[in-house]
Amino acid sequence: MKSYVLPEFWVDRDDYRCIRCGVCVNQCSYDTHYYDPEDDVVRAREERCTGCQRCAVFCPTNALTIRTHPYEYRPNANWRKENIRDLNRQADTGGVVLTGMGNDKPLRIYWDHLVLNASQVTNPSIDPLREPMELDTFLGAKPDQVDVTCGRVQGSLPPQIHLSTPIMFSAMSYGAVSYQAQLSMMRAAGEYGTLANTGEGGWRRELRVYGASTIVQVASGRFGVDRSYLNEAAMVEIKIGQGAKPGIGGHLPGEKVTPPVAETRMIPVGTDALSPAPQHDIYSIEDLSMLIYALKEATHYEKPVAVKISAVHNAAAIASGIVRAGADVVVLDGIRGGTGAAPKIIRDNVGIPIELALAAVDQRLREEGIRSRASVVVAGGFRNSGDVIKAIALGADAVYIGTPALVAIGCTVCQKCYTGKCPWGITAADPRLGKRINPDIATQRLVNLLRGWSFEIKEMLGGMGINAIESLRGNRLHLRGVGLAEWELEVLGVKGAGR
């Protein structure tokens, strides 16, 4: 059947610059470029191009420009190119349209409508280059009171995780990302004193040396979950939902279940790895509590147990239930949260922005007097350290970053993760593509990212006259809204700028 889908990208090859070296042909895992020896020319099958820019970056003579395809339908504000393209893909196959990464629709990004305060005259700002500045963060339930005698804490505290910066790497499963990508994140987390999350796809033996900086996930698939998996990590996270696909499970297609992936997930090679939509032992808050305590029993009450949900309409009430169920950490993943594969219609339409969910959850937990019983971690759409510090001021203890970490190691957010052919080797199922990531270099780039953002956070803190991130946590007086409606300011719990 002839497909009516037009190419999304235009390959502009400057023939004067092209030296026929074949780099683009070799680099493109979608076979977009090919060499035609008869005419001694390199040609392109544009319908295969995903716009990932791998070829353009590696072209030694800068002969390539990959740009959005200039084809035009009759202008129509309702029927945009994307609508026509998706509809035709479905008419071709009768399937559910897949995508990768986070929501790319122009939903309001509240970070861009929140501004920070700084000290002027009435209190001094602090220069973090010369004065102590603390980003240390502790995740875990905080006791209502601590008995300190002779400078020592008496009795035992609930388990706490120390982070040297309030930024962690989000859950990304081996199988969704390549071995090299996962290894690099775990190493970088260990080097910088933060945590990386395995995702629900199991945890390879040789990566367990990074256990002290690893969060393991328990999700509906229960892949690779056993006692050693739980006990060798620093923290255990129950995944109920993911911002990119609230309410649904996951299907890792059989072709991605290669022998090493099968070994890690403990399932046969080539079968679909299905994660059911719900965890079938959790149909209520009481059931959730049962799994939380099953995991605490399995880990001697020595590890904090986190519960991750997608940010949805009733997130505040659900979060209250999660805390009361005994979770040490509540994780919220907003509508812009990323994914390796999700139905596009769900990614783009289900859930709420993380800023509003965070503000509502923090407010609710405070009103109920249980905010200290759990840490709050937020995820989904963080782009820079400004977003992170605003999240802390809105009430988060720490954030998870996924896409920024991938961008640091080459990702250009082309949204084709679900094909398993990532030319950058990040979400590649083919081990030869995974080798395009040098873990030493990728680790360095990730550490650099954490370092750069942490410096920036310190600068902003210093500007506000604050010398510990703890003092900014939930301190919404340091935020003001710009261009927001009254109801938005109310949900966010911030004043409008100038007030």
Query: What is the contact mask toward another protein in residues 328 to 367, using x (rule: CB under 8 A)?
Result: ---------------x------------------------
Residue among 127 and 226 whose Cβ is closer to another protein:
226
Determine the interface stretch with another protein among 65-73, 122-130, 220-228, 378-386 (rule: CB under 8 A): 220-228
Residues in the chain: 499
Tell me whether residue 258 is exposed, middle or buried, using C-beta atoms within 10 angstroms of its C-beta: 0 to 12, 13 to 18, 19 or more. Answer: middle
Q: Which is nearer to another protein, 65 or 90 (CB)?
A: 90
In the complex, the smallest distance separating the C-beta of residue 171 from another protein, rounded to whole angstroms, is: 18
- Nearest-angstrom CA–CA distance, 47 and 42: 16
Token representation of residue 80: 């945009």
Q: Is 263 in the site for another protein (CB under 8 A)?
A: yes
Among 63, 98, 238, 392, binds another protein (CB under 8 A): 98
The 3-state DSSP class for residue 273 equals strand
Token pair belonging to 64: 């390539």
- Nearer to another protein among residue 98 and residue 176 (C-beta): 98
Among 260, 276, 265, 273, smallest CA distance to 429 is for: 260
CB of 412 to another protein, least distance (A): 19
96 part of the interface to another protein, by CB under 8 A? yes
Q: How far apart are the first and last CA of the chain?
A: 62
Q: Which of 475, 450, 453, 454 is nearest to 464 (CA)?
A: 475
Q: Does 82 bind another protein (CB under 8 A)?
A: no
Candidates 253, 260, 431, 463: give the one binding another protein (CB under 8 A).
253
Q: Considering only the stretches 149-157, 238-246, 248-256, 488-496, report the one whose residues sit in contact with another protein under the rule CB under 8 A.
A: 248-256
Interface with another protein includes 300 (CB under 8 A)? yes
DSSP for residue 256: G
114-153 mask for another protein (x: CB under 8 A)?
----------------------------------------
Out of 196, 262, 414, 426, the only residue in the binding site for another protein (CB under 8 A) is 262
Smallest gap from Cβ 342 to another protein, in A, equals: 10
Phi, psi values for residue 150, rounded to 5°: 50, 40
State the residue for tokens 């008995």. Answer: 147
Total residues at interface with another protein (CB under 8 A) = 41
Report the distance separating Cα 195 and Cα 192, nearest Å: 9
Binding span for another protein by CB under 8 A among 6-14, 90-98, 237-245, 384-392: 90-98
Strands (E), 287-371: 305-310, 329-333, 342-343
Is 267 one of the binding residues for another protein (CB under 8 A)? yes
43 sits near another protein (criterion: CB under 8 A): no
Binding mask 382-421 for another protein (x = CB under 8 A): ------------------------------------xx--
Applying CB under 8 A, among 276, 284, 349, 440 the residue interacting with another protein is: 276
Q: Which residues from 280-299 bind another protein, rule CB under 8 A?
A: 280-281, 290, 293-294, 297-299
Closest contact distance (angstroms) between CB of 286 and another protein is 10
In order, the DSSP letters of 60-90 are TT--EEEEE-----S--SSS-HHHHHHHHHH
Residue closer to another protein by CB (options 230, 398) is 230
124, 268, 452, 483: which one contacts another protein (CB under 8 A)?
A: 268
Residues paired with residue 408 on neighbouring β-strands, in sequence order: none
d(CA 307, CA 310): 10
Three-state SS sequence of 113-132: HEEECCCCCCCCCCCCCCCC
Examine residue 68 and tell whether it contacts another protein (CB under 8 A). Answer: no
CA 206 to chain centre: 23
Phi/psi at 334 (5° precision): -85, 180
- Backbone phi, psi, residue 447, to 5°: -65, -40
Nearer to another protein, 290 or 407 (CB): 290
Rg, Å, the chain Cα set: 24
Cα–Cα distance, 306 to 285 (Å, whole number):
14
Structure tokens that stand for 19 in this block? 């030296």
The residues binding another protein (CB under 8 A) are 89-90, 92-98, 220-222, 225-227, 230, 251, 253-254, 262-263, 266-268, 270-272, 274, 276, 280-281, 290, 293-294, 297-300, 343, 418-419
